[in-house]
Amino acid sequence: MIRLVVRTLHLFLLKYFRKASNVKRFIALTLVLVLSTATVAQASGSDLIKTLIVDGPAKYHNWKNTTPVLKEMLAASGEFSVDVATFEEGDDSYKPDFDAYDLVVVNDGFGTPSWPSATERAFESYVENGGGVVIYHAANNAWPDWKAYNEMCAIGGWGGRNEKSGPYLYMDQDGKVIRDTSPGVGGGHGKQEAFEIIVREAEHPIMKGLPKSFQHGPDELYSFLRGPAKNVTILATAHSRVGNKGSGHEEPMLMVIHHGKGRIFHTVLGHDVKQIQAGSFVTTFLRGSQWAATGEVTIPVPSDFPNQAYPPKASTEANTEANTDASAAQQDDGFTSLFNGKNFDGWYLKIRSGDAEMAKKVFQVEDGMVHVFGDGFEDGYQLNISSRSETHGLFYANKPYSRYIFKFEYKWGTKKVNNFNQFQYDAGMYYHVSNDKIWPSGLEYQIRYNSVTKENHTGDFWGGGYDWYADKDRKFQFPSEGGKLQPDRGGEHRAKADAPFHALDGEWNQCEVIVMGNKYAIHKLNGEIVNLGIDLDRSEGKVGLQSETAEIFYRNIMIKEFDKDVPIEEFLTEDQLRALKR
């Protein structure tokens, strides 16, 4: 609050200085200098948002490891100073001085012992008198019998919560808020998976500047949360899939609640350390925390949200230029950028006609991306003249690879070219390529959207040979879920059809190919495994990204190599491994 007053008065005096007489200008200038000094002092830490993280024993929440990451995340933003107060069961002396802080972040969970009653009353008084609070993930599992706390959360789960705790809060398909008072348990989630978050209050300070939807995860997607549901605004939701033990509804992911004079930001995201290091969590958590403490949000949305790296690069400038950094610097998680965002150093271009100048038109670098069929191509270029178009091609990495994880992102443009009517929106990523002809000898991670049937084919296998499991509809399915080993080892093998994806909405899809020589290949889409081949018929080769029937953009092309095979157990769950040929 002090910082906001200083900034506002500072701007007023500067404006006044331009119009005032000399004497008044002198006085105003003196005040400007004093306030400038105050601004410098606040930047050094004297007026940061004083924050307290409260945590304690929780049965199913990794509070010991998430608290240090949350603390560092807040401090690294340059907006918060952070202390921690950990409660141990039976500690009657536990009474943090809540009133000394602008913000309290609650990192407790299911089974956290109750605070001393005097501490509960002190916390209630703090919030009612204007204190800011963040309810983080499993904190909405805690203390089901504490009435005021449950009002602060608005909704929560587990701990015996049911219809007596309050209505089940969700949105229907039309975006209408539903308060369902029918009998039922409070709280549920399926296995962790990637999901799309839909912004519902785009003009709220926390959400302003965020895309209308963005990917998050893999993470737990909470559903069936119940509670008083008073004075709550749902900022963002995600669809809870019935096929993953979900509700089939749009579940609240981000909320704000008013309790007395206090502001509360409630995020159900962030099951563990990996999940809270996702850019989607970092940005919404920091902006929500600032709003809860001050009522305003000045923390910017990163230019590469939600894909920004965490921990962040050393400077904001370096972070905003991540896609166009000329160096292929080693990333903290072991990935190396293969595409520098400026040119095709380390790559070569090849199209069916062999025309090098045309290849440069097909594959163009702009704004840190590879733009396929960009400038110079009209919508309908050579449409349907041949299924073997002269502009079919790939841009290939110069060297072969064997054991690695390959990541990239893509989104569709609007132009339709070549044999579009045959395959609709079609492209792909080839790997283990032994002959770079068009089309090459290798394995393909298919990128395709059938705009006629509305089916997504991204993640399909094409070419090569491998063992593969499928359901009765010939789509990939783990054997533990009923998938059967198929007799054919080549051709087109369909990916799971229920993974979240973006088709023609201008949003990015995140793709990942995990390959261990000839042992196995895993295809992932937006964080979810959608296909798997075992006992491959090849062990190494080049990688490349394709031009075929439609305008497409590629970015964030990265690889992480391994010196030896990584067991498939490192990438699959126990259920997914069950009955799998190894």
CATH classification of the domain holding 210: 3.40.50.880
Any domain includes 105: yes
Task: Give pLDDT tens digits for 119-139.
Answer: 999 999 999 999 999 999 999
Tell whether 277 and 402 lie within a shared domain.
no
If asked whether residues 419 and 550 sit together in one domain, one would say yes
Read off the pLDDT of each residue in 336-352 and give the average, rounded to a whole number.
96
For residue 332, the model assigns a pLDDT of 43
Q: What is the pLDDT of residue 324?
A: 41
Residue 323 lies in a domain: no
Rounded Cα distance between 227 and 244, Å, is 23
For the domain that residue 447 is a member of, what is the CATH number? 2.60.120.560
Token pair recorded at residue 45: 């830490």
**How confident is residue 184, by pLDDT bands cut at 50, 70 and 90?**
very high
Distance CA 323, CA 304 (A): 8
Last residue of a domain, one of 271, 287, 318: 318
- For residues 75 and 35, membership in a common domain is answered with no
Give yes or no: residues 104 and 127 share one domain: yes
Do 515 and 412 share a structural domain? yes
Q: Report whether pLDDT(333) > 70.
A: no
The answer as to whether 326 is a domain residue is no
> Would strands 80-86 and 49-55 be described as parallel, antiparallel, or unpaired?
parallel
Residue 205 lies in a domain: yes
List of residues 6+ apart from 91 with CB closer than 8 A: 116
pLDDT band at 327 (very low <50, low <70, confident <90, very high): very low
Task: Give dist(CA 486, CA 464) in Å, integer.
Answer: 15
Is 312 part of a structural domain of the chain? yes
Strand partners, 476: 470
Phi-psi region of 324 (alpha: psi -120 to 50; beta: other; left: phi over 0): alpha
Residues near 382 by Cβ (< 8 Å), separated by ≥ 6? 389, 390, 391, 417, 418
pLDDT tens, residue by residue, 77-95 = 999 999 999 999 999 999 9
Over residues 374-398, the mean pLDDT reads 89
Percentage of the chain surpassing pLDDT 70? 88
Q: Determine, yes or no, domain membership for 328.
A: no
pLDDT (mean) for 537-558: 96
What is the model's pLDDT at position 8? Answer: 45
pLDDT attached to residue 464:
85
Tell which of 292, 318, 344 closes a domain. Answer: 318
Is the pLDDT score of 24 beyond 70?
no
pLDDT above 90 as % of the chain:
74
pLDDT score for 582 = 63
pLDDT band of residue 39 (cuts 50, 70, 90) is very low
Q: How confident is the model at residue 312 (pLDDT cuts 50, 70, 90)?
A: low
The answer to whether residue 144 scores a pLDDT higher than 50 is yes
Could you tell me if 77 and 205 lie in one domain? yes
Nearest to 458 by CA among 477, 434, 483, 475: 475
Q: Are residues 224 and 165 in the same domain?
A: yes
What count of Cα atoms within 13 Å lies in the side-chain half-sphere of residue 569? 5
pLDDT tens for each residue of 394-405? 999 999 999 999
Q: Examine residue 325 and state whether it is found in any structural domain, yes or no.
A: no
Q: What pLDDT is recorded for position 44? A: 47
Q: Which secondary-structure segment (H or E) carries 449?
A: strand 441-450
What value does the mean pLDDT take over residues 105-119? Answer: 96
Q: Are 350 and 436 in contact (CB under 8 A)?
A: yes
What pLDDT is attached to residue 243?
87
Provide the residue range defining the domain that includes 420.
334-577
Which pLDDT value is given to residue 487? Answer: 86
Residues 268 and 220 in one domain: yes
Give pLDDT tens digits for 513-522.
999 999 999 9
Is the pLDDT confidence value at 325 over 80? Answer: no
461 and 520 housed in the same domain: yes
Contact 219, 280 (CB under 8 A): no
Instruction: Please say whether the beta carbons of 222 and 251 come within 8 A.
Output: yes
Number of domains in the chain: 3
The residue among 461, 468, 465 whose CA lies nearest residue 483 is 468
Q: Both 279 and 427 in a single domain?
A: no
Domain co-membership, 377 together with 340: yes
Q: Are residues 36 and 14 in the same domain?
A: yes
- Quick count: other Cβ atoms within 10 Å of Cβ 554? 23
pLDDT digit string (tens) for 244-302?
A: 899 999 999 999 999 999 999 999 999 998 899 999 999 999 999 999 999 999 999 99
> What is the overall mean pLDDT for the chain?
88
Quick one: pLDDT at residue 46?
A: 59
Torsion (CA) 128, 129, 133, 139 in degrees, nearest 10: -30
Q: Considering 285, 318, 351, which residue would you say is the last residue of a domain?
A: 318
- Return the structure tokens found at 277: 């290091």
pLDDT single digits (tens) 499-532: 788 899 888 999 999 999 999 999 999 888 999 9
Q: Is residue 357 part of a domain?
A: yes
Radius of gyration of the chain (CA): 27
